[in-house]
Amino acid sequence: MLTESTLIDAGGSAAGAGALLSILRDGRPRTRAELAQLTGWARSTLSLRLDALMHQRLVAPTDDAIHSGGRPATTFTFNQSARLVLAADLGVTHARLAVTDLATIPLAERTAEMPIDRGPEPVLTWLIETFRQLLGECGRSLADVCGIGVGLPGPVEHGTGTPVNPPIMPGWDRFAVPQWLSARLGAPVLVDNDVNIMALGEYWAVRSQVQHMIFVKVGTGVGCGIISEGRIHRGAQGAAGDIGHIRVPSFEEVVCRCGNIGCLEAVAGGGALAARLREAGEDASVSRDVVDLVRAGNVRAVQAVRQAGREIGMVLAWVVNFFNPSLIVVGGDIAEAGEHLLAGVREVIYSRSLPLATQHLGILTSELGDRAGVTGAAVMVIEHVLAPDVVDQAVTA
Amino acid sequence: MLTESTLIDAGGSAAGAGALLSILRDGRPRTRAELAQLTGWARSTLSLRLDALMHQRLVAPTDDAIHSGGRPATTFTFNQSARLVLAADLGVTHARLAVTDLATIPLAERTAEMPIDRGPEPVLTWLIETFRQLLGECGRSLADVCGIGVGLPGPVEHGTGTPVNPPIMPGWDRFAVPQWLSARLGAPVLVDNDVNIMALGEYWAVRSQVQHMIFVKVGTGVGCGIISEGRIHRGAQGAAGDIGHIRVPSFEEVVCRCGNIGCLEAVAGGGALAARLREAGEDASVSRDVVDLVRAGNVRAVQAVRQAGREIGMVLAWVVNFFNPSLIVVGGDIAEAGEHLLAGVREVIYSRSLPLATQHLGILTSELGDRAGVTGAAVMVIEHVLAPDVVDQAVTA
């Protein structure tokens, strides 16, 4: 049975180092005196925990000591290059891979054509090979890697990191991605769907002041990631954010790949836009082609993207009334086609949502752009391995 | 500056009693040995904190001591009647007031006609008078009251508990309800909108196993309260859940009291149903009349309620795709008109939402019925006054 004295013993040991690291993770160098004041710990306790973090190389003394009258005091800082993260954003046709430090700064990065429909083993074998090359480029090895984060373009079961009935990923259903990769790379593997990691990346890197954020991805399909009080809202089955299959009015004749009719994605997704432009005689087969046409000033393409913005805006107007977010960020291929998509979205949200809910609502394009996913994949890993309880376990092991 | 030793001193005092109370709030009697094991505290620390709670009468030794071979051991239980809560659910035309114990059990209760449009001072003066009578009925006094919870039929600013631009509450805009009541009743006052407290009451009393719940109120108007991981989701401006003013397709000619057109509430709210039935020659002026007609077997009224269920179901189908709740609870006047409303809601949600999101989705009528609001008003107060830090402050003051 635990008694007060065993609790106090534990309190005096390195357990609790995780809380100290949480303070230092903002990157500011601090003296022992400052850290003692911030934590309320005795100097002896603080020393034990600092030592534990320095032993793990997660914290380092800094050169620029602080002079304040008396002799200079050493400062301590989070050592963000102590470990590496392997981050991958696997899309339907393209992939982006990066080696980052513990602050999501990329040390090496690669984009490549890699169709997800080649199946899990070919794609993941290529992924491992590419990560090895990237590690080589930065002169580091797998021994430095603390975790691997992967985003996939389909539904992922949160507890297991396994794709579940992904409609456009033949061969991936129930494939145990974390186990397969972890056995070959020797580090924990976290997997989530692409929209959730894009939302996480954008939130963590540039929007962390925001309480309630919706990240809408408009690529081949349409989906959104929901951040509520700093955390991803996944819902009961992890299916939250699937706005692509909300039925929009006046399109009852459009059949979606999900088998239903009038889905937002079948009306306003990049795939649908490309198909419609192709029927009208334009040279478009995938969503990137729509972007190229818009950039070339093709009027049909501009009109189509603007109208897609309106359809998406209608669904988002409902989302604004229901969820009352402070910020809507629009990302994905089609969002890169300039202001046309956003103009359509804004037009409808501001005319249809409640004034109270739109009063301070921001509607912006993604600041991270096509790097949102890979950043979020890194964040997912970092938030896991630097969580106070995980750090405590590591330093006392 | 805090040091380890001052922290240990604080740990040995009555501070921390709040955490002990959190364990005992489930109502199970426990011995000192059991409590020491559950908390990990030394016997001396436990005794100090138990004494502090007994001094406040929040915990009491129970008569039924446990015999386990040796001499009987005293058990301790949460004393839910130590303090009283005054709870009020003020609707547009009706009010329900209750005096409850610390487990939301009503000791005295009153329902009355009380139109909210009489303005704040007349309504709140009546409220105080009624609370005094109810206290008298249970032979208790204001000295026993630890807090007052009030639900209002309009938007309430969360931080201040003040109504903000309530459309059907003339004279209430920016009226400082908490200050006005607290000055006269001498206890803290918490105020929220009616739908949030209904959601809280239903969740706390009968659905606490559920992670993500939507409580839809279909009364004169339509609105919903959102519970996410056990807490009310309020959104950026506290406007979350306002689905009554989502525009539904095919009703572009219907003008809503908010000034917009085609709002769900103007199409499917109880007020709209009554107006439509009245135009068709039926005897209906408010939403309760619609319920009476349905109960009397009036076919027009049954059809109207069923169709309202379909319109509400269409909006909820979007909510299911976006939010992926585990449970939708339907309450309010119109929900009491039997299964007709729910049938319409289910019909549309099951045909329009994603299979993954509806696989385990429950769609049920409120178990608390017209007591959901007053229960939630009590819960709001209890969760506040029994929060560990508030209890710690009280016992060490």
Give the three-class secondary structure for B297: coil
pLDDT tens readout for residues B231-262: 999 999 888 999 999 988 877 788 888 788 88
pLDDT, residue A309, reads: 97
Task: Give the mutation candidate from A321, A326, A361 for the B interface (greatest B CB count, under 10 A).
Answer: A321
Question: B70 falls in which pLDDT band (50, 70, 90)?
Answer: low
Q: Which residues contact B14 (CB under 8 A, 6 or more apart)?
A: B48, B49, B51, B52, B392, B395, B396
Task: Give the mutation candidate from B252, B315, B324, B363 for the A interface (greatest A CB count, under 10 A).
Answer: B324
> Is it the case that residue B7 has pLDDT exceeding 50?
no
CB pairs under 8 A between A and B: 162
Residue A218, H or E segment: strand A212-218
**Domain map of chain A by residue range?**
4-79, 84-198+374-388, 208-366
pLDDT tens readout for residues B28-68: 999 999 999 888 888 888 999 999 999 999 999 987 656 66
Is A318 an interface residue toward B (CB < 8 Å)?
A: yes
Q: Distance between CA atoms of A390 and A282, rounded to whole angstroms?
A: 54
Is B262 an interface residue toward A (CB < 8 Å)?
A: no
Do the beta carbons of residue B88 and residue B111 sit within 8 Å? no
Tell me the chain B residues in contact with residue A350 when contact means C-beta distances shorter than 8 Å: none
Tell me the chain B residues in contact with residue A40 when contact means C-beta distances shorter than 8 Å: 1-3, 7
pLDDT, residue A65, reads: 59
Q: Nearest CA to B198 among B329, B315, B25, B339?
A: B329
Interface of A with B in 70-129 (CB under 8 A): none
Q: Which residues pair with A327 in a beta bridge?
A: A213, A362
pLDDT tens readout for residues B124-177: 999 999 999 999 999 999 999 999 999 999 889 888 999 988 878 899 999 999
Residue B94, H or E segment: strand B94-100
Residue A222 C-alpha, separation from nearest chain B C-alpha, in angstroms:
12
Tell me the chain A residues in contact with residue B8 when contact means C-beta distances shorter than 8 Å: 8
pLDDT, residue A7, reads: 37
The answer to whether ipTM exceeds 0.85 is: yes
Q: Distance between CA atoms of B378 and B147, rounded to whole angstroms?
A: 9
Interchain CB distance below 8 Å, A4 and B44: yes
Interchain CB distance below 8 Å, A318 and B246: yes
Smallest Cβ–Cβ distance between B42 and the set A3, A250, A258 belongs to A3
Interchain CB distance below 8 Å, B324 and A240: yes
Do the beta carbons of residue A30 and residue A76 sit within 8 Å? yes
Interchain CB distance below 8 Å, B357 and A164: no
CATH of domain A208-366: 3.30.420.40
Q: Distance between CA atoms of B153 and B155, rounded to whole angstroms?
A: 7
Smallest Cβ–Cβ distance between A42 and the set B3, B36, B242 belongs to B3
Do the beta carbons of residue A7 and residue B40 sit within 8 Å? yes
Interchain CB distance below 8 Å, B237 and A1: no
Tell me the chain A residues in contact with residue B224 when contact means C-beta distances shorter than 8 Å: 322
pLDDT tens readout for residues A346-374: 999 998 888 888 989 999 999 999 999 99
Question: B357 falls in which pLDDT band (50, 70, 90)?
Answer: confident
As averages over each run of 10 residues, the pLDDT of chain A (397 residues) reads 36 76 92 90 89 92 69 88 96 94 96 95 98 96 96 89 86 96 96 96 94 95 93 91 88 81 92 95 93 95 96 95 96 90 95 86 95 97 92 83
Q: Distance between CA atoms of B295 and B286, rounded to whole angstroms?
A: 15
Q: Distance between CA atoms of B231 and B150, rounded to whole angstroms?
A: 18
Is B142 an interface residue toward A (CB < 8 Å)?
A: no
pLDDT, residue A13, reads: 66
Do the beta carbons of residue B269 and residue B286 sit within 8 Å? no
Do the beta carbons of residue A318 and residue B246 sit within 8 Å? yes
Q: Nearest CA to A191 among A127, A144, A137?
A: A127
Is B155 an interface residue toward A (CB < 8 Å)?
A: yes
B195 phi, psi to nearest 5 deg: -70, -40
Question: B13 falls in which pLDDT band (50, 70, 90)?
Answer: low
* Average pLDDT for B270-286: 94
pLDDT, residue B343, reads: 96
Is B317 an interface residue toward A (CB < 8 Å)?
A: yes
Q: Nearest CA to B32 among B43, B23, B18, B24?
A: B43
8-state DSSP, B236: T
Give the three-class secondary structure for A190: strand
pLDDT, residue A157, reads: 87
Helix B43-55 with B32-39: angle, nearest 10 deg: 110
> Is it the case that residue B280 has pLDDT exceeding 80?
yes
pLDDT tens readout for residues A334-351: 998 889 999 999 999 998
Interface of A with B in 12-31 (CB under 8 A): 12
Interchain CB distance below 8 Å, A1 and B354: no
Interchain CB distance below 8 Å, A4 and B37: no
Residue A19: CB atoms within 10 Å: 15
Q: What angle do CA B391, B394, B397 make, to 5 degrees?
A: 145
Interchain CB distance below 8 Å, B324 and A224: no
Same fold, A4-79 and A84-198+374-388: no
pLDDT, residue B223, reads: 95
Do the beta carbons of residue B312 and residue B352 sit within 8 Å? no
Report, in this order, helix, strand and coil percent for chain A, each rounded to 5: 45, 20, 35
pLDDT, residue B3, reads: 35
Is B190 an interface residue toward A (CB < 8 Å)?
A: no
For residue A282, the Cα-to-chain-centroid distance in whole angstroms is 34
Q: Distance between CA atoms of A180 and A188, rounded to whole angstroms?
A: 11
Q: Nearest CA to B340 among B304, B391, B385, B306?
A: B306
Architecture of domain B4-79: Orthogonal Bundle (1.10)
> Is it the case that residue B10 has pLDDT exceeding 60?
no
Strand duo A84-90 + A145-152: pairing: parallel
Residue A257 C-alpha, separation from nearest chain B C-alpha, in angstroms:
13
pLDDT, residue B251, reads: 76
pLDDT, residue B238, reads: 87
What's the fold here for domain B84-198+374-388? Nucleotidyltransferase; domain 5 (3.30.420)
Q: Which residue of B has its CA nearest to A243?
A: B322
Residue B285 C-alpha, separation from nearest chain A C-alpha, in angstroms:
27
